[in-house]
Structure 1
Amino acid sequence: MYHSVSAVAGPMRDLAVPRKRLAEQLSALTAAGYRLVGLTEALDLLEQGCTDKLLAVTFDDGYRDFLTEAVPVLAEVGAGATLYASVGHLGAYADWLGRWSPDFGKLLTWDELAEVAEAGIEIGNHSLIHHPLDVLSAAELREETTRSKDELEQRLGRRVRSFAYPHGYNGAKVRAAVLAAGHDNATEVGRRLHTPGERRFAVPRLQPTPDMTGADLVALVAGGGSPLVPRLKQLAQPGWRVVRRIARAAGRNLT
């Protein structure tokens, strides 16, 4: 689970991996025998009985640096990927990052997103407006999942199968809405490995950071990360959702 391909200082720095580090990490994974593909392709291959060491590579949000920095690296190492676009923010800054949004530069424009698609990258849906979906009304949730998918398909001229929950938040209601909108898989944060047989609408991911060497990332993927953090987050989720609903009713989005 990558985001920006750049170098960023401050509290948001883990959301940015510079081009040189990205190349090191992906090259190390391919050297270790992993086949790097987009998320939908990975799930399809699993269902077909593929026994390769599959690793899905994803990028959230759709920063412009994906086109200028990530696409060349992916081509160099022979990797596929899925890019999740925040449809309502294209061409603007990622304002959900608050005062740190200028540090990441602008998101792709529609024309640039089309270039990414033409480069063979799967384009996934990251909703219309990048805010938590599990605290929205049924009508708002339907708008977020359906309109964004429709716009992507109409503007890019290709089917959009995959969805990434903004901030990772989901629940039964959200997953049902994503399915009803016509997606056939979706991904959260999770911070653990996905195993065959798990549900396709809450695929977990591991997050590389700019401090990880290629060897570090290979070790993380091989080991799957610590099981403690995902479990603690899972236990805290119901109470935290109540807090966020109260905050939203008061006019504030907590992420």
Structure 2
Amino acid sequence: MAMYHSVSDSWDDPFNITVSATRLARQLAWLHGRGLRCVSVRELLAARDRGQERGLVGLTFDDGYADFVTTALPVLHRWGSGATVFVVAGRLGGENDWELSGPRKRLLTADDIRGLAALGIEIASHGLTHSDLTRLPDEVLRAEVHGSRALLAELTGQDILGFCYPYGRLDARVGAVVHGAGYRYGCAVAPGPADAGDLALPRIHIGQADTGVRLEVKRRLARPWGRALEAS
């Protein structure tokens, strides 16, 4: 699965989380040219359950930046791509103020979330405040996991199936709370514990520097790393 964040032309980006619309289009074209189709994680897992996941790539966007609507979405439509957007549910309409440095980026509003859900974009949770869940006391951890799911379900009128661990960090305690909250899957970065299954799905970070050559290298290394860019 592929992990994106922000799509814009702003290059004050010390964390390498931004790709331009032009680069995103070229990356999607590269995938399309290899017979691969980008879908939401929800669709990818449903296809896997039917044994029909071959040739699909899970496409995810972390943090829920407002530029997903203005910049990324038109590119996705052009290539017939689906996606999952992991939303920081307690920061709707705000900024990425969990970052101590780097540019301030606007986040999706509640109306944006409703509109995306109506278009078929999967909305999933990235917690309430983008906190490192492994460092939170039990009560706050439950609020982050359960509260964000309830809020997004109310906004969209849909069951929220997915959770993305802020900073990719999870442990057995966090995984148990996510499972107990009723999520169908969880997304990390590196592979999770051996018994985590779909509650710690690994992904590959895709950035501005990822041309076709780099994407091919990442694609070839993905399976040995346990972070396959595409389904088998």
TM-score by length of 2: 0.89
Q: 1:14 to 1:225 in 2, by over 3 A?
A: farther
Q: Which has the higher contact order (CA 8 A, sep 6+)?
A: 2
User: Aligned to 1:97, which of 99, 107, 124?
Assistant: 99
Equivalence for 2:8: 6
CA distance in 1, matches of 2:224, 2:10: 26
Alpha-carbon RMSD: 2.2
Q: CA deviation at 1:223?
A: 2.9
Assess if the C-alpha contact under 8 Å between 2:163 and 2:183 holds in 1: yes
Number of equivalences: 223
Q: CA deviation at 1:87?
A: 0.6
Q: CA deviation at 1:218?
A: 3.6
* 1:92 partner SS: coil
1:86 partner letter: V
Equivalence for 1:166: 166
2:66 pairs with 1:68:
no
User: Aligned to 2:85, which of 57, 60, 83?
Assistant: 83
CA distance in 2, matches of 1:172, 1:208: 27
CA distance in 2, matches of 1:139, 1:212: 40
* 1:95 partner SS: coil
Q: CA deviation at 1:214?
A: 3.3
Q: Deviations over 1:177-217 (max 9, x none)?
A: 11111111000011x7x9xx971000000011101113422
Equivalence for 1:241: none
CA distance in 2, matches of 1:128, 1:175: 16
Q: 1:89 to 1:67 in 2, by over 3 A?
A: same
CA distance in 2, matches of 1:72, 1:11: 22
Q: 1:130 to 1:47 in 2, by over 3 A?
A: same
Judge which range, 215-224 or 105-114, deviates more.
215-224
Q: 1:41 to 1:198 in 2, by over 3 A?
A: farther
Q: 1:61 to 1:24 in 2, by over 3 A?
A: same
CA distance in 1, matches of 2:75, 2:216: 18
Q: Which has the higher helix share?
A: 1
Equivalence for 1:114: 114
Assess if the C-alpha contact under 8 Å between 2:98 and 2:129 holds in 1: no
Q: CA deviation at 1:11?
A: 5.3
Assess if the C-alpha contact under 8 Å between 1:32 and 1:218 holds in 2: no
CA distance in 1, matches of 2:84, 2:216: 20
Q: CA deviation at 1:90?
A: 1.1
Q: Which has the larger radius of gyration?
A: 1
1:138 partner letter: D
Write the mapping of 1:157-196 to structure 2, written as runs, cut at 5 A: 157-190=157-190
